[in-house]
Amino acid sequence: MTFDDLKIQVTNILNQNGVTPDKMMTEICEALRTNVSYYDWVGFYMANHDSKTLHLGPFAGTPTDHTVIPFGKGICGQVAESNSNFVVPDVKGQDNYIACSIAVKSEIVIPIFKDGKNIGQIDIDSNKVDPFTKEDEDFLEWVNTQIAELL
């Protein structure tokens, strides 16, 4: 499935009536994980700026023990501080990487902005080395723009 096809699917998920934002976000995670062969774990971490922590929200994939991540720790924590996309082609090359699974080889994390503030992020793990492209980044930024409107 192309990213253009996935945009249609995400839009349809977000246009459902009577469905909670968490349920929609879970459905988006499942759609991305199911339709992009190298998206092996897809989840949202939401920011708590008072405690400077990220909290696991909706996700699709193997459950993780990393449900709370301090700002600055791991790839997700670094994105919470930098407010920038972070693409890790090979997690073995990262000193500040939090291993969720020995199968994970690469990761992409894209922040979600609402009213100019980083409110969370989408985190995707892949069991392949270096699968993410600029097209992935652009698509995930689009997804996060849609999510920000929902929240």
Decide which of 65 and 148 is more confident.
148
Q: For 9-65, write each residue's pLDDT tens digit.
A: 999 999 999 999 999 999 999 999 999 999 999 999 999 999 999 999 999 999 988
Q: How confident is the model at residue 99 (pLDDT cuts 50, 70, 90)?
A: low
The two structure tokens encoding residue 146: 């849609």
- Contact of 16 with 34, CB cutoff 8 Å: no
* Other beta carbons within 10 Å of 117: 12
| Number of domains comprising the chain | 1
pTM: 0.93
Where is 69: in which H helix or E strand? strand 68-70
Q: What is the CATH number of the domain that holds 129?
A: 3.30.450.40
